[in-house]
Chain A
Amino acid sequence: MSVLTASFGTLGRQVLGTLAAIGRVTGFALRVLGHMLRPPYYPRELLTQLLAIGWYSLPVVGLTALFTGGALALQIYAGGARFNAEAVVPSIVAIGMARELGPVLGGLMVAGRVAAAIAAELGTMKVTEQIDALTTLSTNPMKFLAAPRVLAATLTVPLLVAVGDAIGIMGGWLVSTSRLGFNSAVYLQNTADFLQVWDVGSGLVKGAVFGFLVALMGCYHGMNSGRGAQGVGRATTNAVVSASVLILASNYLLTEAFFSA
């Protein structure tokens, strides 16, 4: 009996703890959004972050997409061969990249790069009292640090996804024409014929949501970092893990919302 109540107690505490964490993160997100909308704005910071988050993530996202597009072509060719349906390779590569793999893999790569970098930077700033110093210099850290990062990621990750889609499709084309005997012009024609605007558009919307979540997790964990190097390390790990899980979970929900009949 007492074992039962004890385990219910533990479960209850965990549920409450999780709910409290969700509440804190939601509150943080709303405050960031509020600061994004209300002046003063910090255009210089935004520009720096657009470069740091968007531009410097291009190689990582591009390479990921290239190899994924190539592997996808091989798999679909092998799978399609079982039904004599090898001709679906171009369309499925394109749809798969645009709807799922482009945004999800791009988002995860950005989570690894950007959420970690933001959490480590802001965590270090917290630990070395730079965030306190900002406050005493009449500058709101949420507005100066969090808002530009979250806005920059929300704006640039869709662009990264678009580039990733194109490179992924190109990877599929490269493998299909060089290894699987597809005719280049026919492949490209097929891709263009089957790919619809919403295939790409839905992926871009996902990219915006993922970008928002990645930067939000980086900022939240960084600004709430514990003391010392250990605190910063933990904040960085938590930022990457929570951003990755949130990307995969929200991806499912968005797919359900966009495409379930």
Chain B
Amino acid sequence: MIELAGLHKSFGPKAVLRGVDLSVPKGTSTVIIGGSGTGKSVLLKCILGLVEPDAGTITVDGRPARQGDRDAFLTKFGMLFQGGALFDSMPVWQNVAFRLLRGTLKMPRAAAREVALDKLRRVGLGPEVADLYPAELSGGMQKRVSLARAIAAEPQIIFFDEPTTGLDPIMSGVINRLIREIVTEMGATALTITHDMSSVRAIADRVAMLHAGKIRWEGPVGDMDGATDPYLTQFISGSADGPIETLR
């Protein structure tokens, strides 16, 4: 269970988050939608402590995120960065197995490699990519490697920042199903950012829309289509006409 209350974050004069309240129930899949540049990525980084919020509270499983053992806190999380953020000095399999090769989750190299190969297979990549370097892969392949890295240590809470951007429709379907499986089979809590409405329908238990620094609408995915909020309906229909400014 992740709870955000009154989260504020500005970069210089630019107020990005202006009082975000959101709760993400344990073992469910929540999707955050919203225009690009509205601060969705910043929101995830605040929860992980990569960006220091100006105000507000973040609690994870009832405990404030900034207190206690940081290592134990981060071990609960997996994160897929929007840009992939693969380590380009390491081959693909070492990227995926990064956590399993050092620190508290360290295991023998051969075993870690096996886990990496298994996770790569789950994101639709064969063993032939294991020894390539990230720079040798296409953007979509890098994204999937990064996804494999995020789930490699089987964390309890996983953040996916635009997991299907840059993928073809079939590969998007594979990734959507994978995210769904991680939640239903492994019981993980997932928080996903996406612009892709077919992804939203495939992944989400709950949907939250971020607009103008606040959660504009939140509810179960089933209520989304019946909702009357003009901002939400404009976003879902992808119309250029509506209350959301197209100049931002």
Interface residues of A (CB under 8 A from B): 40, 42, 121, 125, 128-130, 132-139
Contact = CB atoms under 8 A, between A and B. Distances in A.
A135 B87 CA distance: 12
B128 interface: no
Interface stretch (B97-105, B110-118, B184-192): B97-105
B50 interface: yes
Given A40-B102, A138-B104, A132 B71 contact: no
A130 B95 CA distance: 11
Interface of B: 45, 48-50, 71, 74-75, 77-79, 81-89, 98-99, 102-104, 149
Given A138-B104, A139-B102, A132 B85 contact: yes
Contacts of A133: 79, 81, 85-87
A137 B102 CA distance: 10
Contact of B50 (A42, A121, A128, A135): A135
B135 to A, nearest CB: 11
A136 B158 CA distance: 11
Nearest to A125: B87
A138 B81 contact: no
Contacts of B149: 137
Nearest to A129: B85
Given A129-B82, A138-B74, 7 more contacts: A129-B83, A132-B50, A133-B79, A134-B87, A136-B50, A137-B98, A138-B99
Contact of B74 (A40, A125, A128, A135): A135
A129 B81 contact: yes
Contacts of B84: 128
B81 A132 contact: yes
Q: Which has the most chain B C-beta neighbours within 10 Å: A40, A125, A135, A137?
A: A137
Nearest to B49: A135
B85 A130 contact: yes
Contacts of A137: 74, 98-99, 149
A36 B83 CA distance: 31
A136 B99 CA distance: 10
A136 B73 CA distance: 10
Nearest to B101: A44
Nearest to A144: B102
13 contacts: A125-B87, A128-B85, A129-B81, A130-B85, A130-B88, A132-B50, A135-B48, A135-B74, A136-B77, A137-B149, A138-B74, A138-B75, A138-B104
A130 B86 contact: yes
A136 B48 contact: yes
A138 B45 contact: no
B54 to A, nearest CB: 19
A139 B71 CA distance: 8
A134 B87 CA distance: 9
Given A128-B85, A133-B81, A138-B75, A40 B103 contact: yes
Nearest to A135: B50
Contacts of A121: 89
Contacts of A134: 87
Nearest to A130: B85
A5 to B, nearest CB: 28
A134 B48 CA distance: 12
A130 B74 contact: no
